[in-house]
Chains A and B, each alone.
Chain A
Amino acid sequence: MRKRTKAILLSVATFALSCAFIAGYDPRIDSGATELQQKVETFLTDLEQTAGTPVGEYQRHTGFYDEVRTDISVLRNVASAHKGNDITLQSLDLIEANIAKLEKLHAAGISAEEIRIVRTLFDTQFRMLVRFENAKKRKES
């Protein structure tokens, strides 16, 4: 009987651990990441058109970078409120690191050809994050 109890407790523990490994779906992260993706995409599309002109100069767009950093910080706060959101937090950190790299390139003067490459990379990053968040949703449904 003792062996049987141990086996049952082990089954319960294994089942509980398998459920707690990744945080559940939070629509605020999903919608926030999607909105941020659109914001960055729109910015890069506009910048590709204006690169090399006064309108595309970094000094005119510093507000964009501040805004995006704030958006990422808000998403980080929401994600860090749940245990098991390490992958989401790491992905947000990597997006923030790339925003800093983009800002550095922009400040030094960025070309339309460079923007095309960077846009593809941001698109991949955001798509992967949103897809992961959606996988949490599918898992729960």
Chain B
Amino acid sequence: MNFDVSALTTTMTEAVRGAIGDRWSTVRELAEKELGKLAQTLEDVRDLHARGTIDEGRAWDIVEIQRNTLLTVLRGVKGIGILTARGAVDAAGRAAAEVVNRLLGFKVI
């Protein structure tokens, strides 16, 4: 039985989307691309196992590398999302600072 790589990508993407929350739109393109590649490598491992090239233990070892890679992708996506969101917060902060400084009549922020 083959994996449906597209369906697997969608499942992983939805899970990540849930975990990322509001920042999803800022990292969507990056996350979908990387998760698609990971789904394809899972299919490649399944294929090696199905052909008898590797046994179950060996397949498990490679899937663990895959798992660590997925965690790295999640952390990276999360971090880039935070930095992107922070850019928006910083811009809002600067705008707020201008208002506060103007109200007080001197530079406090």
Residue of B whose beta carbon sits closest to that of A102: B65
Contact A87 B69 (CB under 8 A): no
In the assembly, what is the distance between CA of A95 and CA of B73, in Å?
11
| Those of A98-139 within 8 Å (CB) of chain B | 98, 101-102, 104-105, 108, 111, 113-114, 116-118, 120-122, 124-125, 128-129, 131-132, 135-136, 138-139
Complex interface: chain A residues within 8 A of B61 (CB): 101, 104-105
Do residues A124 and B34 form an inter-chain contact, with CB atoms below 8 A? Answer: yes
A125 to B75, CA, bound (A): 10
**B1-59 with Cβ < 8 A to chain A:** 30, 34, 37-38, 41, 44-45, 48, 53-54, 58
Task: Write out the residue numbers on chain B whose beta carbons fall within 8 Å of the beta carbon of A128.
Answer: 34, 72-73, 75-77
Number of A-B contacts (CB under 8 A): 116
Q: A91-B76, A124-B34 are in contact. Are A117 and B62 (CB under 8 A)?
A: yes
Contact size range, B: 35 or more
Assess whether A62 is interfacial by the CB under 8 Å rule.
Answer: no
